[in-house]
Structure formats: structure tokens, C-alpha cells
Amino acid sequence: MHQVKAAPGHRGGPADVPGVVRDLRLDEDDLEVGTSGRVGGVLVHRCGYRSSMNRPSTMAGLLVLLSSPVTIALADGPVTPDREYVVIASERCRETDGWSQVAGALAAKHAADLLVFEDSPEELLPELRRRHPRLVGVVAMPDEAGRARMGEFHRLLRRLDDDPYLDARWGVVTASDWPAAMEMVRAERPLRIRTMLSNTPVPLEVAPDGAYFDEGVAGRRVERSGGGEETEILGDPHTADEFARAFNTLAPDLLVTSGRTNEERWMIGYTFDGGRVVVAEDGSLRARTPDGDETVLANPGPMAMLGAGSCLLGYVPDSGVLPLRFIEQAGARQVVGYCSTTWYGAGGWDLYRRFLEEPGRHSLAESTWLAQQELIRRFAAEFPGAPEVSTEGFDERAVPEFREAVSERTGMPRTDERFKDLSGLLWDRDALVLLGDPAWRVELEEGDLPWSVRRRRVGDRLELELTVHDDLSESSTPAVILEDRVRPGRVLEGAGTSPVLLDDLVFIPGLVDVPVGESVTLVLEAPLVDPKTPGRRVTRSQVDGVLAGIEESLADRLRMVIGIAGVNGAELVRAIGEVPPDHRGSMHHLVSNLPPRDARELPASFLLEQVRLAHESFAGSPWRAGVPEEVFLDAVLPHAHIDERRDDWRGAFTDRFRDLAWSVDTQEEAVRLLNREVFKAHGIEFDSNKRLTNEQSPYQTIIQKCASCTGMSIMLANACRAAGIPARLAGIPEWPTGDNHTWIEVFDPVDGRWHWIEAFGSGAYDEGWWVEKVRGIAQEDHEDPRFRIWAAGWTRTDDPADRMPLWWLTPEDDPIPGVDRTAVYARNRSTAEKASE
């Protein structure tokens, strides 16, 4: 059960969303783990447990039946779910091995629900209107991502409320096969553009290293290196081979494309034949000169592509097309382009201006959404009252037929000088698409901006102070994305800027008329849709009150954690103050060792329940006698092991597995029983390729139905803790030959020792396929901590030697407390070895 390292910048891949189609008009006790159900005809998947405790759910949302007053709470899940993200897939996609795992991975990544349609995304409209998500990730197999389906999603997501605009930022995760699509899902850390390549002039000053090949001048290219001056080079007009060398050497973070493109080739020159990028017969991505010489293009990625003026760069009729080859072979994790031919191109070039000429203001996905919205705004502003003409029924190349339909429907002759804009806006608003996760951030370093904004909220009023720094006549229409949704109201001040207020966006077209160097204040009536009470930092007297009488060094540690928590310090103080007297020591231990992320995010109710249930299970455990208090505090009480997502798992695992574990005679029998049943209960299989990440939380594993050894070990260790059995993760961060492995250790009070056991295995204590290998490495006593044996702990010290060196952690991540177990494993023998003596 090796775990294979993911590519740099990624975490690792996932599995099927569990569940059986069921009628959700049932009692809560009838809901199983990973249930699925139809809400108004929509198949909704999320992971929840049968629960008899009726606890308030912290899972990704409550499921409110549209046809019934009953509210069904599917228990547990992520402690801090993302309620603004929704994943959509077809039922065919969900039922196809590999692609089902991609959909599950995207849902697991964002703690989001997965909505499934049978025939058309239109089936989801009532449920989407109820949820009104801000982000929608669509998972589609390559034959589901053509022009017609892209148009369906554009039209669907403009209808979640009454205005004509897109109501959610959206993107499509697709690729030539599911492993490549999984890499798009795994893109997690923001991509900051450091290197850039283009076949059209771009502002090279926005990135330290870059080059562009001028599509309008044969043989001309401009380069910049190390943030220095630009250098112009006039070379061979046949630029394909030079472009290939630049691509393979520079390994660009961003590739900007323009020129003549279709699903099979991209012309590097526009006014001349400089060669092309093609999909070769063997499926590889190649640059081909006019003479026929070819060079394979390769980039480890991650990379993003911005198709400013390239037709069909977002067109995916099947698995062999150009954009999918860039995803599979050149590391592209976001691709923005047209899913049709276009004569107009306003959307792509507006995207170019917003992203490249306003560096650092918006991510690539946000800039795409703004460009899509701008097409809609222009149509409404320039052609008020014009009838709608849908692109439905027109394929990706049916431009003449569509323009004829526009003329007939609107009564505007094609000879009218405004007809190009009218028909172009209607065509392009359904054509510009983003392939990839819309939440993944591709960003430029913040640079000089042509205008700036300062925001201030006063009650229901939103005040924007706008300052113009440069001529805006050739810029994109100024727009401000709002952090929180609002209810659009009146313009109270600054009406001369002609603002267009949407629920999460303000366009300010009149700002272009403000002279350079001047400012204008725009005041809008914009009450928040979901007002949040601003958190207040806990006072010193409140902290002193709950820490009174606590030993000084522990009190100092608690003060430090409460300080790190910021406004969430009030939750920690409440947890400490409300815990029953006989559980205070446990709460003090739990809180004093919280990593910073947990201190800032976990609510008091969660911490109080962890302490209560841990004590309840431990007190009833048949094997508690002989377990030292420090073992309970470090291996039963904690809610987490390493850096996995924080899930509210304990209550549901207690309900499901505690009595099962207690039904046998010995603790070893209980652990072995749990090792069989916890995975069988959810249909979970070992798969290091289809899982999202190494350190999967329990519900990420359940919704994917697979994990690698670390995710499996977290599941088993949590089931043990739910039964009051002390358990912790252990493993070798890295074999000297590569890869790594994780298992669990269980403390057995019979002999007072920690015993290891393989998660998802069938062996007894101290057995496993890796035992001899681990013992040999332990006996070598490597100085490098990566090659030593570790157990994860909870108690934090200031000694760097007490930290588990997991290979995927970065310097920015919270360190994981660890116990060096190398010496123990060097001398330990298996149960079978002992029995043979």
C-alpha cells in the first residue's frame, strides 16, 4: 500500500460518491452514510450517518425538501463546509468508473454537495435557485463538454434569479481521460504567474520571465528575463521550432494564445505561416514548422491558458482535441477559450485586458466571469428591449445561420452598422468558457493599476471611493467583485458613473469619463443578503476569568492559543468555561495544543462535544483499565491526527462502531473487527490514484469511496477512538528508495505497549507486509528524519525534533507533533515471531 508522491504543487486523487437513489421523505434515522436522494427530481449526494443523537448538523448544508415542510439534517461532515460551491455531473458521468471519482474528488475538495442530472442540466434549475451558489464546478466526460452542453450551462446559470446575468462563476473539469481530469481537481495552491509565453504581444512587465512571438510580424519575438529589460529579436519567419524551444525551456505558468485555431491545430502566426501546434497522429502535442519538422511540447505544469483570440480553444467534442492535449501533456489546469468559432472576439480580448492589463486585481477565473458578464451588460445597455435570441440548436460553426436568425428575430437588417455588435454579443455570451476548477486561483503579482477602489460599508450602504490613475478609454469596463452577496438597491451618490449593481458585482462604466488623477465616490443601497455579526476579540478579563486557578505554565499556553485564535478566541474561552468540572483537564489539554488553524476555526460546540464523547466512550470501554491518562489525552481525546481536513466525525462514528467494538472479548479482536467493518460499511477500497489527497479526512474518503494508506489509517484510528480505544497514526515519511507508508498504532493495556496494525488489512497486531522492511530501515538508524519511524501525537513542544516530517507539508503549514519510534521498531518482533519461540 505505497503512496506515490503527487506532482509539485498538488496534494494527491479520489473516488465514487457513495449512495443509493432514495426518496428523502423519510425519517432521519433512515439515512445512511453517503446517502443519495431526489429533491424535486434532482439527485443529491452527500455523506451523512444514521444518527440517533439528533445533533445540529455541521455538514455541507441541510437538505430542505422543496415538496415537503420536513427538513432532513444529514449528520456530520466538515466542521467548516463551503456552502457556496456546488458540483454538478451527469448520472452517466457519476456511474462511470474513474469519472465518478473525479466528481467525488471535486466535492471532497470543496466540502460541497454533488448534484446529478439524468438528461439535461435544466433538471437542476429549482435546486440551484434554492441554493444560489456562487461557484459551480461541472465534471464532464469529454463527449459531454461540447458546444451544446456549454451553452446549456450558460443559459441555466443566468436563470437562478430574475436578472439576465450569470449568477455563479463556473467551470468544467474535463480531460481526455479521468486521470488527467483528476490532476485538474488536485490543483489546490494558487498559481502565481512567474513565467509567461504568448504568440501575440503581451505586457511582459507583469511577470519576471517571459516571451511573446508576434503573430503579426514574421520572425519577431520579444523576451524578458529575470525582471530585466525587454529584448527584441528578429529571426526565422518559421517560428514553430523556436516557439517549441521557448515553451519547453521556459515551462510557462501562463500561455496566451491568439490567431487561427480549431480543435486540431493552432496557427502561431496570423498574417504569415509560421507553423502550428497540432495534435499528432499518435496523440502527442507538437509544434510543426511549414517544412514539416516537429518538436514535442511538454510542461510539467501546473499551467494556465488564456485564449484571447483563438476560436475553439474551449471546444471539446471528444477526447483527442487540442485543449485536452494541453491539459494531459502540458500541465494545463485551467484553459479559457471559445467553444465555437467567433468573428467577434469581444469576450476573449476583454478577458485579456482584465487579467493582463490590471495585474493582480482578479484571478484568471474571476476575469473570465467578468468578461462573460460584460457581454451581457453590453447587450442590455446597447440594445435595450431587444428580444432574446438563443444559441440553442446552433452548432459551433453555425455562424451564418445564427446571424440570419438574429436578423429575423430582432428585425435589424444585417447591413445595419450595429448588427455586428448585436449578433456578436448574443453569440459570444454562450461561447467563452473556462475548463478547470473555477475556485482555483491563477494570479499575477499586483502591479500598477489604471484605477483603484477603496470600500467601506456603513449599515446597508456600500461606499466605493474610486480613483482614476490612467486613461480608461481603451480599458475594460471597471468592475468591482463584492465579497458578500447584497440586495441591489438605489444609487444614493455617484449616479453619473452609471453603475450597474448586481448581487455580487458592480459595473461602473461611467468611470471612463472621470479625468485622470481625480476621484469619485459611489454610494449604493446594498443590504447584505446574509448579514454576519462581526466577531469581537475576547477581553483580557474574560480570559483571566476562565484561567483562574490553572497552573501558570498551562495558563500561559492557553493564553497564547487564545491570542492566536483572533476573534475565535471567544469560542475557545466559552469551551473552557462551559466544560463540566470533571472534564476540565481534558479541555485544557485539547485547547492548549490546538494548531493555529484549529484555534482560528473550531467552534466551542464542536470542542465540547469532542470532550464529552471521548470521555463517554472511554468510561464505558471494557479495556480502559491500565490506560494512562496521558495516553487518553493524546490518543483518544483529539479530533484529528495530522493535517487532514477537520470533520465532525466522532458522534457518527460512535453511533456506528462503538457497540460493535465492545461486542467482542479483547481489544485486539475489537480493532481487527473494526478494521474489517469500517471500510466494508462504506464500500471503501484502497486506491492511491483515484483518491484526492494523501491526508484525507473521514468524509473525504467516504464520499470518494477510496483512499491510500494515510486516509485508510485515519478512518481506522478514528473508529478506534470512537470506541474509547487509544489509537494514533504511525509511519515512515519516506522510504529511502522513495514513496512512503502509514499504519496505526493501538495502545493495549494488557501489556502496556503500543502495537501496530495495517489499516485495511486482515492481520493481527504487529503484522504487515512492510514489517521486515521497516525493521531493517529502523536498524540502520538514519539521521535524516524522513527515513525514521514516527507516530503522530497531539502534545506540542517547542523542540523541532518533536515534529513529524510529512513530505507534503510546506514551511507555511502547521507542524505536526511526532514521537520518534525508530528504536522501538528496530527491536520489535511480530506476534507470529514471538509465538514461534
Q: Is residue 318 part of a domain?
A: yes
* CA atoms of 375 and 389, how far apart (whole Å): 14
In the prediction, which pLDDT does 60 show?
35
Question: Cell for 724?
Answer: 474509547
Q: Is residue 162 part of a domain?
A: yes
In the prediction, which pLDDT does 761 show?
82
In the prediction, which pLDDT does 739 show?
82
In the prediction, which pLDDT does 743 show?
95
Nearest of 76, 135, 128, 75 to residue 109 by alpha carbon: 135
Pairing of strands 303-307, 332-338: parallel
Q: Do 101 and 179 reside in the same domain of the chain?
A: yes
In terms of Cβ atoms closer than 10 Å to its own Cβ (0-12, 13-18, 19+), residue 68 is: exposed
Query: Which residues have CB under 8 Å from 690's CB, separation 6+?
Result: 13, 14, 15, 98, 101, 105, 182, 704, 706
In the prediction, which pLDDT does 82 show?
78
Q: What's the rounded mean pLDDT across residues 121-149?
A: 95
In the prediction, which pLDDT does 73 show?
27
Provide the number of structural domains found in the chain. 2
Residue whose C-alpha cell reads 530501515 in the numeric block: 777
Question: Cell for 150?
Answer: 456549454
- Which ranges constitute the DSSP H helices of 483-551? 540-547
Q: Do 436 and 516 reside in the same domain of the chain?
A: no
Amino acid at 698: P
**What percent of the chain shows pLDDT beyond 90?**
73
In the prediction, which pLDDT does 834 show?
52
Q: Is 766 helix (H, G, I), strand (E, B) or coil?
A: coil
Residue whose C-alpha cell reads 473508529 in the numeric block: 719
Q: Do 422 and 461 reside in the same domain of the chain?
A: no
Geometric angle at alpha carbon 677, from 675 and 680, rounded to 5°: 110
Q: Do 420 and 455 reside in the same domain of the chain?
A: no
Higher model confidence: residue 119 or residue 532?
A: 119
Q: List pLDDT tens digits, range 667-690.
A: 999 999 999 999 999 889 999 888
Residue whose C-alpha cell reads 424535486 in the numeric block: 40
Q: Mean pLDDT for the chain?
A: 88
Q: Is 822 helix (H, G, I), strand (E, B) or coil?
A: helix
Q: What's this model's pTM, rounded to 2 decimal places?
A: 0.85
* CA atoms of 346 and 425, how far apart (whole Å): 8
Kindly tell me if the per-residue pLDDT of 571 is higher than 70: yes
Q: List pLDDT tens digits, range 174-214.
A: 999 999 999 999 999 999 999 999 999 999 999 999 999 99
Backbone angles phi, psi at 45, to 5 degrees: -115, 135
Q: What's the rounded mean pLDDT across residues 383-396?
A: 93
In the prediction, which pLDDT does 59 show?
34
Nearest of 438, 426, 431 to residue 164 by alpha carbon: 426
Amino acid at 430: D
Nearest of 746, 729, 650, 649 to residue 695 by alpha carbon: 729
* CA atoms of 116 and 514, how far apart (whole Å): 48
* CA atoms of 482 and 485, how far apart (whole Å): 7
- Can you give the length of the chain in residues? 837
- Model confidence at 12, pLDDT cuts 50, 70, 90, reads very low
Q: Do 162 and 233 reside in the same domain of the chain?
A: yes
In the prediction, which pLDDT does 833 show?
52
Kindly tell me if the per-residue pLDDT of 45 is higher than 70: no
* CA atoms of 246 and 267, how far apart (whole Å): 16
Q: Is residue 388 part of a domain?
A: yes
Residue whose C-alpha cell reads 482560528 in the numeric block: 600
- Model confidence at 704, pLDDT cuts 50, 70, 90, reads confident
Q: Do 422 and 474 reside in the same domain of the chain?
A: no
| Residue that finishes a domain, picked among 467, 497, 525 | 525
Q: Is 109 helix (H, G, I), strand (E, B) or coil?
A: helix
Dihedral sign, Cα of residue 270, residue 276, residue 279, residue 285: negative
DSSP letters along 641-667, please? SSS---B--HHHHHHHHHHHHTTSSSH
Long-range pairs for 657-661: beta carbons < 8 A, 24 or more residues apart:
657/719, 657/722, 657/723, 658/617, 658/620, 658/722, 658/723, 658/724, 660/723, 661/719, 661/720, 661/723, 661/725
In the prediction, which pLDDT does 802 show?
83
* CA atoms of 621 and 666, how far apart (whole Å): 11
In the prediction, which pLDDT does 130 show?
94
Q: Do 347 and 293 reside in the same domain of the chain?
A: yes
Nearest of 736, 825, 729 to residue 772 by alpha carbon: 825
Strands, DSSP E only, in 226-293?
231-234, 254-257, 265-267, 276-279, 285-288
Kindly tell me if the per-residue pLDDT of 605 is higher than 50: yes
* CA atoms of 65 and 40, how far apart (whole Å): 8
Q: What's the rounded mean pLDDT across residues 546-556?
A: 93
Q: Do 259 and 226 reside in the same domain of the chain?
A: yes
- Model confidence at 309, pLDDT cuts 50, 70, 90, reads confident
> Is residue 805 within 8 Å of 733, Cβ to Cβ?
yes
In the prediction, which pLDDT does 157 show?
98
In the prediction, which pLDDT does 19 show?
27
> Is residue 476 within 8 Å of 377, Cβ to Cβ?
no
Q: Do 407 and 290 reside in the same domain of the chain?
A: yes
- Looking at 25-29, 146-150, 381-385, 576-580, which range is the least confident one? 25-29
Higher model confidence: residue 63 or residue 457?
A: 457
- Looking at 43-52, 697-706, 824-833, which range is the least confident one? 43-52
Amino acid at 394: F
Nearest of 811, 822, 756, 826 to residue 789 by alpha carbon: 822
Output helix, strand, coil percentages for the chain, rounded to the nearest 5.
Answer: 35, 20, 45
Residue whose C-alpha cell reads 499586483 in the numeric block: 446
In the prediction, which pLDDT does 42 show?
59
Q: Is 5 helix (H, G, I), strand (E, B) or coil?
A: coil
Q: What's the rounded mean pLDDT across residues 467-486?
A: 96
Higher model confidence: residue 320 or residue 3?
A: 320
Highest mean pLDDT among 535-544, 695-704, 714-723: 714-723
The secondary structure element, H or E, covering residue 346 is helix 346-356
* CA atoms of 276 and 350, how far apart (whole Å): 25
Nearest of 790, 778, 756, 787 to residue 825 by alpha carbon: 778
Kindly tell me if the per-residue pLDDT of 28 is higher than 80: no
Q: Which residues pair with 197 in a beta bridge?
A: 211, 255
Q: Do 520 and 397 reside in the same domain of the chain?
A: no
Q: Is residue 365 part of a domain?
A: yes
- Structural domain that includes position 416: 82-441
- Model confidence at 740, pLDDT cuts 50, 70, 90, reads confident
> Is residue 452 within 8 Å of 469, Cβ to Cβ?
yes
Q: Is residue 716 part of a domain?
A: no
In angstroms, the first-to-last Cα distance of the chain is: 29
Backbone angles phi, psi at 461, to 5 degrees: -100, 140
| Residue that finishes a domain, picked among 441, 466, 487 | 441
The secondary structure element, H or E, covering residue 574 is helix 569-578
Q: Is residue 5 part of a domain?
A: no
Q: Is residue 658 part of a domain?
A: no
Q: Is residue 161 part of a domain?
A: yes
| Residue that finishes a domain, picked among 484, 505, 525 | 525
Higher model confidence: residue 747 or residue 531?
A: 747
- Model confidence at 547, pLDDT cuts 50, 70, 90, reads very high
In the prediction, which pLDDT does 410 show?
96
* CA atoms of 409 and 385, how far apart (whole Å): 12
Kindly tell me if the per-residue pLDDT of 458 is higher than 70: yes
In the prediction, which pLDDT does 489 show?
96
* CA atoms of 766 and 121, how far apart (whole Å): 52
Q: Do 362 and 510 reside in the same domain of the chain?
A: no
Question: Cell for 225?
Answer: 528575463
In the prediction, which pLDDT does 752 show?
94
- Model confidence at 762, pLDDT cuts 50, 70, 90, reads confident
Q: Do 233 and 310 reside in the same domain of the chain?
A: yes
> Is residue 653 within 8 Å of 77, Cβ to Cβ?
no
Q: Is the omega angle on the peptide bond into residue 488 within 30 degrees of 0, that is, cis?
A: no
Q: List pLDDT tens digits, range 410-432.
A: 999 999 999 999 999 999 999 99
